[in-house]
Amino acid sequence: MSRAVFEKLRAKYAQVAESGKPVPARAADAARVVKEAVGLVDKDGHYNTREDGFPVLAKSRTHTTEQFKLDVVAEAVVGPDWRSLIPAHRRLSEEAAVPIGPSHFANVSAWLAIAGGLVQGAIVEGYETSDFDLTDLFPVRNPSLMFWNGGERYTAIIGPSRPAPEFGIGQAHPDARMDAMWIEPGPMKKYGHKITVAKETAIVDISGGRILAEARELGMGLRYRENELCLDVITGQTNNFKLGLTNSSGATGYNTYGATVPTGPGTTGTLGNDIANPVSSDPMTVFNTSQNALLGYTHPVTGLPMPMADRLSTLLIPSSISWFATYVNTAAQITMGSQPAAPGPGTLGGGTFPTGWITSNNPFAGLFKRVITSQWLYYRHTASTTQGDPDLSAGLGLTSGVSGTANRWYRLDPERFACRRIAWDITQTEFDPRSFTMADQNIVFGAAADMAMQVQVLNPWAIQRNKVS
């Protein structure tokens, strides 16, 4: 922490300390000063959030959490004797006769509140700056009713089952069949972890910056979990799509790729969203193969065409074929060779070498609105199918190399394919230092971060897997 920041914090806290408010209120005011500086709250003390409710740090924030070293903050707020006062905080709350006055108790309480605010900020920092590339791919959908183990019914997900019917003069409007199709989501799960600082190591932890470093790890760990859950549904390792039709008493579960699904009135067929279409072919063949497969989709209720070819405008590819993303993004023109009929030139020596050429604008240049190259997708493709860590998903065991099977790619509409169902977003909780557990284990500071969520497949028609073979 720079000297200017140190003096500014000490001056701000002096104003708070002289406010005459009770100790808890003074501690909260002191913490808010730092929370606003690191972008956790606005000037009114309200937490900054994204549109979907997730916490976010203000872009206009003036400081990072790293600039507020906890030991320097302790010196600014508690005073030069902070090393002896902070570990003694538990005794301060229990003993009436101690050689430390009540003002020191208030200062230590303020430091704990500031430390908690910095931990909150560090958790969000770790979440926002983590190098995970798929966590924001799917939109957040907060449950309207909280069924922890699933059971809700989502209607109007796949699209209208039939055109609006005609009705005559003076006739009532026909009812819209909102229950023609419905999706039943799966259960929620909680994810999280905690950090604690024991009295015996408090000085070392505070001076060494380990507390905020571990807090960032908490945020990174939560985002890592989101990334894993998104990969699970993209790769088809988690198959939680359950579809119910008008007369269904319950929803039926289907695999995300290549499932036998309803295709119209009383018929079923294979969902053609899992095709062999390697990028080793020429780009025109690759994209035409993809487009033609999408044109074969039919609505599960009416059997009418499903217009998905223009909707799957996001391209997701593993980093092993990043050149493919470069082609899609930057190739303005393509040149195609052919053998025109007479009166054009004939074949050379009876071969099939192109004798005619035409150059035109890349017809697929504007097809994809978003192209994502993911190292985590490539890692999941190539990782072993056995995983010893229960907190990590197993890989697909695909082969690497120029023509390896790990070079499969995906085309999707993220808004329609899946969602992140959030029961509650990232929540940080500080442990009460006066609690029995904290006192019993000689813990002077502790915090936990958790979230409750689930990534739900809503529409497998909105994704296409293109395999090497």
Q: Which of the residue ranges 102-111, 348-357, 378-387, 421-430 has the most confident prediction, judged by mean pLDDT?
A: 378-387
126, two tokens: 């770790």
Please name the residue that has the structure tokens 């009135």: 265
CA distance 134 to 230: 7
CA distance 48 to 110: 22
- Please write the tens of the pLDDT for every residue from 438-466: 667 777 778 899 999 999 999 999 999 99
CA distance 212 to 122: 6
* DSSP helix/strand/coil, 229: helix
Side-chain half-sphere CA neighbours of 434 within 13 A: 5
Alpha-helical (H) ranges within 256-413 are 283-294, 322-330, 375-382
- Please write the tens of the pLDDT for every residue from 224-282: 999 999 999 999 999 999 998 877 788 999 999 999 999 988 899 999 999 999 988 77
The b/e string for 372-411 (b: 16+ C-beta within 10 A; e otherwise) is bbbebbbebbbbeeeeeeeeebebbebeeeeebbbbbbbb
User: What are the φ and ψ backbone dihedral angles of 305, each rounded to 5 degrees?
Assistant: -60, 145
Which band of pLDDT confidence, cut at 50, 70 and 90, is reported for residue 308? confident
Length of the chain: 469
Higher pLDDT: 30 or 422? It is 422
Higher pLDDT: 341 or 44? It is 44
Write the burial class of residue 40 (CB in 10 Å: 0-12 exposed, 13-18 middle, 19+ buried). Answer: buried
Q: What is the pLDDT of residue 290?
A: 92
Percent of the chain with pLDDT over 70: 79
| 3-state class percentages of the chain: helix first, strand second, coil last, to nearest 5 | 35, 20, 45
pTM across the whole model: 0.83
Which band of pLDDT confidence, cut at 50, 70 and 90, is reported for residue 165? confident
Higher pLDDT: 346 or 213? It is 213
Report whether 92 contacts 101 (CB < 8 A): no
User: What are the φ and ψ backbone dihedral angles of 211, each rounded to 5 degrees?
Assistant: -60, -50
Q: Does residue 405 have a pLDDT over 80?
A: yes
User: What are the beta bridge partners of residue 276?
Assistant: 467
Which band of pLDDT confidence, cut at 50, 70 and 90, is reported for residue 8? confident
The end-to-end CA distance of the chain, in Å, is: 57
Distance of CA 382 to the CA centre of its chain: 22
Higher pLDDT: 50 or 231? It is 231
Higher pLDDT: 285 or 277? It is 277
Q: Cα dihedral angle (148, 153, 156, 162), rounded to 10 degrees?
A: 160
Q: What's the mean pLDDT when you consider all of the chain?
A: 82
Alpha-helical (H) ranges within 130-272 are 202-208, 210-234
- Please write the tens of the pLDDT for every residue from 112-131: 788 888 888 999 999 998 88
Q: Which of the residue ranges 278-282, 294-298, 362-366 has the most confident prediction, judged by mean pLDDT?
A: 294-298
Nearest to 230 by CA among 139, 321, 148: 139
Please name the residue that has the structure tokens 């203000």: 58
Write the burial class of residue 138 (CB in 10 Å: 0-12 exposed, 13-18 middle, 19+ buried). Answer: buried
- Please write the tens of the pLDDT for every residue from 66-98: 888 887 787 777 777 666 666 544 433 333 333
